[in-house]
């Protein structure tokens, strides 16, 4: 009877050895080929991204809007709405992972558009909560001055202060 | 017999528990993906993707940034220069997370060969060692660590020492590992993991008591949190098996009892606790943990074993009828589970496992590889949990899912390329007919603009000359110039025809010339200032004109660039994508086959195990019935004997006391001889 116990523990061992049934060389060979194809697809994707940007958002008309959460570890962003030229161009609801990524210093590109040179009104509204559950909401406006080159605007949301700051890049 | 088996079992379990040094689950290097001084939005965007484990997008973003940065004429002026070094390491880390070890390794080797300061080389060597360790190339990992000269940066120093200790353990150099791990004790970021590895290293180095002591302390309190709880349980389980192997059953039981009843190691601990008692001959006490275990998930190997262990204990306790009932229940369960396993094997063979792994939910649902069992006709993944937890299987799964992700991305790009073709064709059909006409108009305007610019240039030069060489007549108004020319004409006429000359005429001409000259001379400064102002106004107009000119040129170029020069690039990219798709398809098939093969092999082993349990249970059931019958018969016999004895007793008690019978003095009548001839006969 006690042999059963031995057999069970040996079964646990087989889990570790199962993978060895497929030869180590075969695994390594396949893994290296997968790495090669990943490398090639990354390279292709980089080129495709550049092509897409050149084709759809040429630098003379490109405006890109970015959202960041500086020093907002205590604040949880729930949604952001962006109006450019009085039209809603982006409305984003944040997932837990996105909030965490923003809190860790990540910057989210929320919208890329094509506009003519000149001044364009930008209006941003956000909604969020503090850790204690207090709700925060704010709206702020800004003028995007589009010149010849591409225009990048960072929308800094200081949640707990109900403030939105804009920064031209 | 029992104790030999217990030792063998404990030894096998120990092999599993001690096989791989435990490592803390930490990001590759948190500092590589953090900045408190963001100077480039695109670096921030890559961080946003990296922190969500979107490694592909993060690598692509950083790769593009690095490439563009390297092409700059003055890279030090670009804000990205602040993040350049960090980005290079971050790409290596992200490639490692994306299981591109070779690429990450190459990048680190390049740093090691390069002309860079030693601290950077040290960090690269540490990262390279990590890559080798991950690929289970321990000798290479040690070689990379030996390339470190001096100290590594403070933020990775403890990690580097911990990695070195684990490499030593893998290479069987336990004494060196013990020395390093002792130094690392108290390191907060590695709390628990250092102690666990130190305990294992001590055990492996032959210092059993010290190893047990080290692990005992960790087993009492590893810290708070789920991970630490699991580590504490694992430690106690390891100690339990260690002491069971040493036949110290009482102490072993203490450690098995310490394992949390709801933790991931609880089933094995309950099973072990039962065996400890059984080995000590206390089958009634062994039944307590085993009975508890039989109520748990029936796919677990420990639970299935407990289904046999419970009736075994009842058998030992001579409760054969209960043993028989329990063997019957075990047989039912084994039968059901064999069916489940057979269905699961068929389902995998039909490709349902891979189909489920390719679904969108795979990236959205937590633990999808387990949850997919809920899909119709999907395999029972609870049987694959241990397999799925193994490093190789995890690698296979991730590779398969990565390949599927690449396949989907490329499909989207191929669709996008078709859309780009359409956009380009539309733009071409719009611009091509109108651009030649616009070009003709533009050339005319261009010629006029050039002419006006030349005129402006001449005026500017004249005004500048007037500042040096005062010539008021050049600032004369048109009527004044006309008057001056008329006077000049009169003088020419008079010169040609002297008869018309008179003193009065001469005076009048001279007076008029004087008046004109006087006015021009008097107003020269004002006029010069005004001319300068006019020139400035003209400059403003010309600037507007030039801006419009430039805008037109840019728009004209943009119009051409919006459809010209893409054809070759799109053709090449489409071909590249199609080639990649073919390769991905082949690799997915191969990786998928490996996944299926391993899963089927695992399920077949579990099925074979259950079938052998079934055979054992059937024999044991029959044996229990026999014993139960035998016992029943014996009991029935005993009861009969008892009954008979009782009856006898009762009869004895119930029957009247017989009177003292006098011995017969006379013969019975039949023996009496007839009076006439009896005597005669005797006499005969």
The predicted pLDDT at position A19 comes to 47
Q: Where are the domains of chain A?
A: 23-56, 62-168
Q: Which residue has the higher pLDDT, B464 or B79?
A: B464
Which band of pLDDT confidence, cut at 50, 70 and 90, is reported for residue A113? Answer: very high
Which band of pLDDT confidence, cut at 50, 70 and 90, is reported for residue B55? Answer: very high
Separation CA B549–CA B444 (nearest Å): 12
- For A62-168, CATH number out of 1.25.40, 3.40.50, 3.10.100, 2.60.40 equals 2.60.40
The answer to whether residues B144 and B132 touch, using CB atoms and an 8 Å cutoff, is yes
Most confidently predicted of B92-106, B461-475, B577-591, B668-682: B577-591
- List, for residues B390-418, the tens digit of each pLDDT value: 878 888 888 999 999 999 999 999 999 99
Crossing angle of helices B138-146 and B118-134, in 10° steps, is 170
Mean pLDDT of B281-296: 92
The verdict on a CB contact (< 8 Å) between B580 and A7 is no
Q: What is the pTM of this model?
A: 0.74
Distances (CA, A) of A40 to A68, A169, B65: 32, 32, 17
Mean pLDDT of B553-576: 91
The verdict on a CB contact (< 8 Å) between B399 and A104 is no
- List, for residues A6-42, the tens digit of each pLDDT value: 555 554 445 444 544 567 788 888 999 999 999 999 9
Separation CA B233–CA B220 (nearest Å): 9
Q: Is the pLDDT of residue A55 over 70?
A: yes
* Averaged pLDDT of chain B: 85
Q: Is the pLDDT of residue B29 over 90?
A: no
Q: Is the pLDDT of residue A58 over 60?
A: yes
- DSSP per-residue letters across B387-426: HHHSHHHHHHHHHHHHHHHHHHHHHHHHHHHHHHHHHHHH
Pick the residue from chain B with its C-alpha nearest to A45.
B60
- List, for residues B539-551, the tens digit of each pLDDT value: 888 888 888 888 8
Mean pLDDT of A107-130: 94
Which band of pLDDT confidence, cut at 50, 70 and 90, is reported for residue B227? Answer: confident
Mean pLDDT of A149-169: 88
Mean pLDDT of A78-107: 93
Residues of A in contact with B558 (CB under 8 A): 58, 60-61
Separation CA B299–CA B75 (nearest Å): 61
Q: Is the pLDDT of residue A57 over 90?
A: yes
Look up the ipTM and state it. Answer: 0.88
Minimal Cβ distance to A30: which of B413, B551, B591: B591
Interface test with B, best of A3, A6, A7, A8 (most B CBs within 10 A): A8
The backbone torsions φ and ψ at residue B562, rounded to the nearest 5 degrees and listed phi first, read -75, -15
Q: Is the pLDDT of residue B678 over 60?
A: no
Residues of A in contact with B570 (CB under 8 A): 51
Residues of B in contact with A108 (CB under 8 A): 45, 48
The predicted pLDDT at position B410 comes to 97
The predicted pLDDT at position B1 comes to 44
The predicted pLDDT at position B15 comes to 57
Pick the residue from chain B with its C-alpha nearest to A64.
B41
Residues of A in contact with B561 (CB under 8 A): 54, 58
B423-426 long-range contacts (CB < 8 A, ≥24 apart) are B423/A55, B423/A56, B424/A55, B424/B562, B424/B563, B424/B566, B424/B567, B424/B570, B425/B563
Q: Is the pLDDT of residue B511 over 80?
A: yes
The predicted pLDDT at position A99 comes to 92
The answer to whether residues B158 and B184 touch, using CB atoms and an 8 Å cutoff, is yes
Which band of pLDDT confidence, cut at 50, 70 and 90, is reported for residue B334? Answer: very high
Residues of B in contact with A106 (CB under 8 A): 44-45, 47-52
Q: Which residue has the higher pLDDT, B11 or B340?
A: B340
The verdict on a CB contact (< 8 Å) between A2 and B13 is no
Could you tell me how many CB contacts below 8 A there are between chain A and chain B?
Answer: 227
Minimal Cβ distance to B410: which of A8, A31, A41: A41
**How many residues in total does chain A contain?**
169
Q: Which residue has the higher pLDDT, B590 or B68?
A: B590
Which band of pLDDT confidence, cut at 50, 70 and 90, is reported for residue B681? Answer: very low
Minimal Cβ distance to A30: which of B34, B64, B590: B590
């Amino acid at each position: 009877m006690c042999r059963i116990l031995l057999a069970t523990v040996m079964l646990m061992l087989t889990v570790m050895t199962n993978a060895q049934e497929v030869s180590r060389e075969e695994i390594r060979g396949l893994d290296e080929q997968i790495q090669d194809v990943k490398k090639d697809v990354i390279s292709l994707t980089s080129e495709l991204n550049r092509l897409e940007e050149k084709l759809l958002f040429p630098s003379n008309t490109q405006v890109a809007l970015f959202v960041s959460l500086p020093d907002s570890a205590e604040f949880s962003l729930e949604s952001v709405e962006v109006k450019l030229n009085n039209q809603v161009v982006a409305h984003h609801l944040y997932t837990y992972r996105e909030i965490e990524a923003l809190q860790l210093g990540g910057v989210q590109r929320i919208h890329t558009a094509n506009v003519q040179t000149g001044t364009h009104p930008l209006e941003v509204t956000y909604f969020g909560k503090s850790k204690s559950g207090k709700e925060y909401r704010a709206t702020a406006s800004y003028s995007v001055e589009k010149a010849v080159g591409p225009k990048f605007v960072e929308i800094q949301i200081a949640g707990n202060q109900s403030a939105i700051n804009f920064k031209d890049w | 017999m029992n104790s030999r088996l217990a030792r063998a079992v404990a030894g096998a379990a120990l092999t599993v528990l001690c096989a791989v040094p435990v490592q803390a689950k930490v990001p590759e290097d948190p500092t590589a993906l953090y900045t408190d001084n963001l100077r480039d939005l695109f670096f921030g965007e890559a961080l946003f993707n990296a922190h969500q484990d979107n490694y592909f997008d993060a690598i692509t973003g950083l790769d593009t940034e690095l490439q563009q940065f390297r092409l700059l004429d003055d890279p030090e002026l670009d804000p990205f220069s602040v993040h350049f070094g960090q980005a290079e390491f971050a790409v290596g880390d992200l490639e490692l997370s994306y299981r591109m070890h070779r690429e990450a390794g190459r990048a680190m080797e390049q740093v090691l060969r390069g002309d860079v300061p030693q601290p950077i080389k040290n960090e690269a060597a540490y990262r390279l060692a990590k890559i080798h360790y991950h690929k289970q190339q321990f000798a290479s990992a040690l070689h990379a660590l030996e390339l470190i000269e001096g100290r590594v940066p403070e933020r990775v120093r403890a990690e580097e020492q911990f990695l070195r200790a684990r490499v030593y353990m893998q290479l069987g150099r336990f004494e060196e590992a013990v020395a390093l791990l002792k130094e690392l004790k108290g390191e907060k970021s590695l709390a628990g993991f250092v102690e666990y590895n130190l305990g294992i290293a001590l055990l492996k180095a032959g210092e059993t008591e010290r190893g047990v002591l080290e692990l005992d302390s960790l087993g009492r309190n590893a810290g708070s949190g789920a991970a630490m709880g699991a580590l504490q349980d694992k430690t106690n389980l390891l100690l339990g098996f260690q002491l069971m192997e040493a036949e110290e059953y009482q102490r072993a039981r203490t450690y098995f009892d310490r394992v949390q009843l709801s933790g991931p190691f609880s089933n094995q601990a309950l099973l072990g606790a039962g065996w400890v008692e059984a080995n000590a001959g206390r089958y009634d006490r062994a039944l307590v943990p085993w009975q508890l275990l039989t109520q748990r998930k029936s796919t677990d190997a420990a639970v299935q074993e407990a289904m046999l262990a419970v009736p075994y204990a009842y058998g030992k306790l001579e409760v054969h009828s209960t043993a028989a009932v329990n063997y019957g229940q075990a047989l039912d369960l084994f039968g059901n589970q064999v069916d489940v396993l057979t269905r699961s094997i068929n389902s995998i063979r039909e490709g349902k496992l891979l189909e489920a792994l390719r679904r969108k939910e795979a990236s959205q649902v937590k633990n999808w590889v387990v949850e997919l069992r809920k899909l119709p006709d999907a395999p029972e993944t609870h049987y694959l949990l241990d397999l799925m937890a193994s490093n190789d299987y995890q690698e296979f799964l991730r590779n398969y899912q990565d390949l599927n992700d690449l396949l989907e991305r490329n499909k989207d790009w191929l669709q996008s390329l078709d859309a780009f073709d359409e956009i380009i064709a539309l733009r071409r059909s719009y611009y091509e007919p109108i651009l030649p006409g616009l070009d003709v108009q533009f050339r005319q305007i261009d010629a006029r603009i050039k002419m006006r610019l030349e005129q402006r240039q001449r005026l500017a030069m004249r005004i500048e000359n007037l500042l040096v060489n005062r010539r008021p007549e050049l600032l004369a108004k048109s009527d004044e110039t006309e008057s001056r020319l008329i006077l000049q004409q009169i003088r020419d006429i008079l010169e040609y025809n002297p008869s018309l000359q008179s003193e009065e005429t001469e005076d009048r001409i001279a007076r008029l010339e004087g008046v004109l000259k006087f006015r021009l001379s008097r107003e020269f400064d004002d006029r010069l200032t005004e001319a300068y102002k006019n020139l400035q106004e003209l400059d403003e107009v010309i600037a507007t004109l030039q801006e419009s000119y430039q805008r037109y040129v840019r728009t004209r170029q943009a119009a051409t660039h919006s459809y010209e020069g893409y054809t070759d690039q799109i053709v090449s990219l489409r071909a590249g994508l199609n080639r990649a798709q073919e390769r991905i398809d082949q690799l997915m098939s191969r990786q998928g086959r490996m996944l299926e093969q391993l899963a089927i092999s695992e399920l077949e082993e579990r099925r074979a195990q259950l079938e052998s349990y079934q055979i054992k249970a059937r024999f044991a059931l029959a044996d229990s019935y026999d014993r139960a019958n035998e016992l029943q018969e014996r009991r029935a016999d005993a009861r009969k004997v008892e009954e008979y004895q009782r009856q006898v007793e009762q009869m004895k008690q119930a029957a009247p006391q017989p009177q003292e019978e006098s011995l017969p003095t006379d013969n019975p009548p039949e023996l009496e001889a007839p009076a006439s001839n009896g005597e005669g006969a005797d006499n005969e």
